[in-house]
Chain A
Amino acid sequence: QHRHLLELLKRTTVHGESNSALIIGPRGSGKTALLNHVLKELTEMKRVRENLLEEDCQFFLKNNFLSGLLQTNDKVALKEIIRQLHLENVVGDKVFGSFAENLAFLLEALRKGDRTSSCPVLFILDEFDLFVHHKNQTLLYNLFDISQSAQTPVTVIGLTCRQDILELLEKRVKSRFSHRQIYLMNSFDFKQYIKIFKEQLSLPAEFPDESFAQKWNNNVQHLSEDKTVQDVLQNLFHFTKDLRSLHLLLMLAVSNVTVHHPLITASDLHEASKQYRMDSKANIVHGLSVLEICLIIAMKHLNDVYEGEPFNFQMVYNEFQKFVQRKAHCMYNFEKPVVMKAFEHLVQLELVKPIERPSVRAQREYLLMKLLLDNNQIMDALQAYPNCPTDVKQWAASSLSWL
């Protein structure tokens, strides 16, 4: 893959050949890293050649980096291209003129060049799939059209994580695309994963404090053989092969390192992984008041009874009332407005979600809602909830216990 891309870019720069390619791979599979690496390599090669020729010329590969997230429509993207190309209607960092003018201008500029004399231009479209959604795909059409005609040599490289990207292209755009796809996959196994883990954590050789570096690296070596660490990593590996998540985990662990605690331990890693895998919604439940917990339990029962049908506040309140009447001795009977308030708090926390937008006509008590928590989550959260009244726990365990 690496070689393929390198070849491709080299030909554009050296022979002035126009090309287009797509790099497809899931998130965190190193698409951008690959591209950057290749570009760096290319620059070095160019430098070498330039040194040989003894020319003090600037690096002649124009590099356009466009991101689909930043360039939300063709208009903005076009301006960005012109800006990056330092074309002549750029005043400072601003591009003037209307969209149509700019487009005509860019096309004119690119048309003028020919294969042998103009300097090659490399367009990198990050988040390529977002460019596809632009109106008429004008920008893509034009870029690909240039790459397919005897104009300024350009290479268009798209980066995307969507596997079905080609189906999104319009037929005439598709026809102009050269169908070069470079797929990147995280195809390593767990051993390699451990190796990557070691490499990431080890200190480089040029670290100033050599003795510490050695100690640290030894520790890392030990860690990588440790059983619990391997378990943690295995879990993460099963969960995702994305290297970014590994980085995140290590970051959490390494941030525990202090002067008094200079080396990471297995427990650090374990802690980090726990933190990493935390369930966010369940955590919110821990911070709720008893009344709110009761409401959630009431909702859970409603869910059980009606098999996931939506409910409204009145139903929840009735359910709650039944519980309170049974066990009135341990629960203070809240007024309805107070319960309502608690309920609204839950809505705000997005533990409960209205099915439709609240309209003016419908009374708030009768808005249909859905619970965004699973039974398991609720039970887990209750286990961890401090000072939970036993009645409530019992009620949670079985909706029929109070009968």
Chain B
Amino acid sequence: MNTWQQSKITYSWFGKPMSSDRKLRTFQYRGILIKSERSRTETCIQLGEFILVEGENADQPFVAQLLDLYEDGAQQKHAVVQWFSHITEIPQNKRKLLKREVSPQEVFFDQVPGYDTDIAVETIIKSVMVIPLHLGEELPIPLNKEQTFYVKQSWDGKCFKDLSPDTFCKLKEANKKGGGIPNSSNSFIPSDIISPLKKETERIVRSATKPKNVELEIESKHSASKSSLAKERHSQRVANGIKTPTARKKLQLNSPTRSPKGRMRGCEVLELLDDDCDAVAPLEPSATKRKVKFTGILGSPPKIPCANDKSKSMFDTAEHWQRFSDTIRLSPYNKVKDSSEKAKNLSVKDDTISLIGHQELCSWSPVLTPRSRRICAQKTSARITEQISILNTLELSQEEDFLSSSDSSYSSSSEEEEDDVLCTPEKKTKSSRIFSTPKSSRKSSFHTPVKTLKKTPLPGTPKTPRNATPEIPRRNHEAQKPASILEEARLRLHVSAIPESLPCREEEFQDIYNFVESKLIDGTGGCMYISGVPGTGKTATVHEVISCLQQAAENDDLPSFQFIEINGMKLTDPHQALVQILELLTGQKVTATHAAALLAKLFNTPGPKRKTTVLVVDELDLLWTRKQNVMYNLFDWPTQKHSKLIILAIANTMDLPERIMMNRVASRLGLTRMSFQPYTYKQLQQIISSRLNSMKAFEEDAIQLVSRKVAALSGDARRCLDICRRATEICEFSSQKRTPEIVRMAHVTEAIDEMFSSPYINAIRNASLHEQIFLKAVLAEFRRAGVEEATVQQVYHQHIVLCRIEGMQSPTISEIMAICSRLGACRLLLVESSNKYLHMRVRLNISQDDVMYALRDE
């Protein structure tokens, strides 16, 4: 939505410059005029007022107080702000310090030093109210929660403090000033929002009769639930689906307060709407802006009928829904009217409905057993999905003309969820578990509502994959603890076992650490390219560095940073990299091209409150595309002034930049290179012994043998550990009866042989007689023709000759073909595709000497 607003809004200064600084060529202003073209209104925001600033996330704007406005020499409009933090902006682990539950409307006076307080004026969305409160005070019941925030405490990055009386007064002052003085002739309500229309209607509503008030309340509650849901979602995202206790707590915290209201609201709306439909009518002029809200309300009445439907099965639901979808296609005004009329209809049609419906709703919550409630809810949710899809298509078609497609889908998805909150508060009170119940993708709820209806096992919020919590079922038995010393050793030797430290990589560790640390302290960006053959500990070292840095950041030795990791192998397509980065950064899920645009915007423009980002790109070579735009972008961002992006790129080949990258990409990658040499045998030896950690499971010589063998081949630590593990198994195997012994040379040799032996000779020896003869025939034919290739026909003749010599029955062509294909399947022979029959060409996949050797021993 913001992008849309932004495109339609012009910013201009309010009044003449207050003062100017000759030296810096800056002009300071008293206020700023925001002109929205669409609604043809102007809003003036003055110094000291509170504003919403565009954040990384469209639905999570930042809150700030405007301190200064100026224009610099380049005619850029700037603003200096005092930040306020949302609870979601505070790191998970610090939230515990608060020791209380925080309402989504509460913000914290931000005193974190790292954030940039100088922002571009264009990022200001609108003004809001921020009311300072004392710590003990309850939040007053708000009129419109969306535009009002409360501040109780300040946050300086480490701990929460009470507001000092000074700041408290200042904030209060600013609030009064903002609220009191009409500062613009164009806008009715000074301090508030960008669209006076909204405000206007609200005032009308407020001054109107009582039922209308109730309606307003619903609206406000509605918006409250919307924003809190957004918060919830955000926190979920922050937790990245790990379901930390905090996230869960938040959920519960939100639900109890909301649910009683939610329960009431349903019947209220029903009653209210049918005797109040003409009261709604005056609201018609508020046109499209309000439409969104009405559809929200619209969402609620149908819920009751369907709940009743379910419990009483009185209505022909299909017909009902058909009608509903018909009416919903009308203009916003009609929509409201119709739905209220329908609500009336319902109560007329069935006299008992409001009564029983009421009862139903009451009994719905605590009285019903969870089981029936669930069934009930299940039905509802199915209905809801159906309705949502209707709503959404409607939304889409109507908003298409002024919203970009992705935006509209976004808004509709939030709509979707918002509807659902309205309808299913009860479900949430039950337990937080339901929140994490199966979600089919959103697509399914769009296109196959019927399927969802049948198949979703539990009621859920809209089926977006975003909310799905992938999880492997828990195991029923605890994993057994290792019993013997060998098993213990094997556990430690598993590649996955995380060693306390990485031996033999101290130098590399220090280099990378220094690099990242210096960039972090400078607040600049940079790239580093790390190469090395597989199994030399590149990724492990980088991870170790990051965890060290995170530790340091936690102890406030370093500015905090955000850590993102992508792996080229775990992506299906190079362009997915950008999508994944964006998702990890902000939690948004968009298409690849859109992600690229958003990320470019994010990194190229001076954003407010940007933390340094450390991005680890594993398996870089797989991000190669023909135009290399993914790589180009990746390495271009760190060179931007404001990006604060540090990239650690990991790949196997040392000369990757020269080989596959274009010049402009390679030059952006920079010259900071590091290569991981393969481990030498001494290092491997050290790794094994450090892993074993003074356990007496291996003979010294055995370890040395393994490490020498592997070092000679590849220097792959993984291979080394695997051999050791296999050796322990063999050892265990051979000494089952006797007392457990330690791994000796013999075991290690056996393991090595097992891993490195060539299977071919063994395979030939175990082949059947004719297969062997065929191989001989192939050899003979090669010798005769002098070419290492022959057709089956030629080999066949040789074969027959050989069979005659051996005095055996000669096979038919079909049999020869079968033999040939069998050998081909084992890749002893390389065979052409078989449709050439006799003219199929045959080659040996192993050396002739090997075949001779294997066959001679018979």
Contacts and interface: CB of A to CB of B under 8 A. Distances in A.
A162 B828 CA distance: 9
B447 to A, nearest CB: 9
Contact of B475 (A60, A106, A179): A60
Nearest to B718: A175
A105 B719 contact: no
A208 B723 CA distance: 53
Q: Which of A49, A74, A100, A116 has the most CB of B within 10 A?
A: A100
B444 interface: yes
Given A88-B470, A174-B534, A15 B491 contact: yes
Interface string A89-129: 11110101101110111111110110111111100000000
B125 to A, nearest CB: 31
B796 interface: yes
A308 B729 CA distance: 58
B732 to A, nearest CB: 8
A154 to B, nearest CB: 9
B812 interface: yes
B622 interface: yes
B726 A118 contact: no
A117 to B, nearest CB: 6
B437 to A, nearest CB: 8
Given A7-B729, A175-B535, A239-B811, A372 B839 contact: yes
Interface in A181-224: 181, 183, 185-187
Nearest to A245: B818
B183 interface: no
A331 interface: no
Q: Which of B498, B814, B818 has the most CB of A within 10 A?
A: B814
Contact of B470 (A26, A105, A138, A377): A105
A86 to B, nearest CB: 8
Interface in A233-258: 235, 237-242
B470 A118 contact: no
Contacts of B276: none
B477 A53 contact: yes
A222 B714 CA distance: 59
Interface stretch (A30-38, A276-284, A358-366, A382-390): A276-284
Interface residues of B, number: 96
A7 B734 CA distance: 13
Given A239-B815, A241-B767, A152 B569 contact: no
A145 B569 contact: yes
A105 B469 CA distance: 8
A186 B768 CA distance: 9
A65 B392 CA distance: 40
Given A171-B652, A179-B755, A112 B814 contact: no
Nearest to A49: B477
Nearest to B773: A238
Given A116-B479, A281-B814, A142 B570 contact: yes
Contacts of A372: 837-839
Contact of A119 (B444, B475, B652, B768): B475
Contacts of B760: 163
B825 A27 contact: yes
A185 B763 contact: yes
A356 interface: no
B375 interface: no
B95 to A, nearest CB: 22
Given A100-B572, A136-B569, A163-B760, A172 B477 contact: no
B770 A117 contact: no
A3 B800 CA distance: 42
B717 to A, nearest CB: 9
B771 interface: yes
A110 B814 CA distance: 48
B472 A138 contact: no
B762 interface: yes
Nearest to B828: A163
B716 interface: yes
A238 B496 contact: no
B479 A112 contact: no
B524 to A, nearest CB: 31
Interface in B37-63: none
Interface string B486-521: 010011001111100000000000000000000000
Contact of A97 (B465, B491, B652): B465
Interface residues of A, number: 98
B482 interface: yes
A100 B535 contact: no
Contacts of A136: 569, 622
Interface in A12-52: 14-18, 24, 26-27, 49
Nearest to A238: B769
A347 interface: no
A259 B828 CA distance: 47
A171 B533 contact: yes
A142 B569 CA distance: 7
B734 to A, nearest CB: 12
Nearest to B722: A178
A185 B762 contact: yes
A176 interface: yes
Nearest to B576: A100
A15 B487 contact: yes
A87 interface: yes
A109 B471 contact: yes
A14 B479 CA distance: 6
Contacts of A175: 534-535, 714, 716, 718-719
A336 to B, nearest CB: 28
A105 B771 CA distance: 47
A68 B817 CA distance: 24
A350 B839 CA distance: 13
A374 interface: yes
A291 interface: no
A164 interface: yes
A87 B474 CA distance: 12
Interface stretch (B311-319, B336-344, B451-459): B451-459
A374 B813 contact: yes
B759 A163 contact: yes
Nearest to B473: A119
A75 B572 CA distance: 9
A353 interface: yes
A186 B811 contact: no
A161 interface: yes
B793 interface: yes
B30 to A, nearest CB: 50
A161 B729 contact: no
Contacts of B828: 163
A183 B825 CA distance: 15
Contacts of B822: 26-27, 240, 242
B525 interface: no
A26 B471 contact: no
Nearest to A140: B569
B570 A103 contact: yes
A186 B766 contact: yes
B793 A149 contact: no
20 contacts: A15-B480, A16-B475, A24-B759, A26-B822, A26-B825, A58-B476, A62-B473, A100-B579, A101-B441, A103-B571, A103-B572, A112-B470, A116-B478, A120-B475, A138-B572, A180-B755, A181-B754, A185-B766, A241-B767, A241-B768
Interface of A: 3, 7, 14-18, 24, 26-27, 49, 53, 55, 57-58, 60, 62, 74-75, 85, 87-92, 94, 96-97, 99-101, 103-110, 112-113, 115-121, 136, 138, 141-142, 145, 148-153, 161-164, 171-172, 174-176, 178-181, 183, 185-187, 235, 237-242, 277-282, 350, 353, 370, 372-374, 376-377
Interface of B: 241-242, 437-441, 443-444, 448, 451-452, 454-456, 465, 468-480, 482, 487, 490-491, 494-498, 533-535, 569-573, 576, 579-580, 619, 622, 652, 714, 716, 718-719, 722-723, 725-726, 729, 733, 754-755, 759-760, 762-763, 766-771, 793, 796, 800, 808-809, 811-815, 818-819, 822, 825-828, 836-839, 845
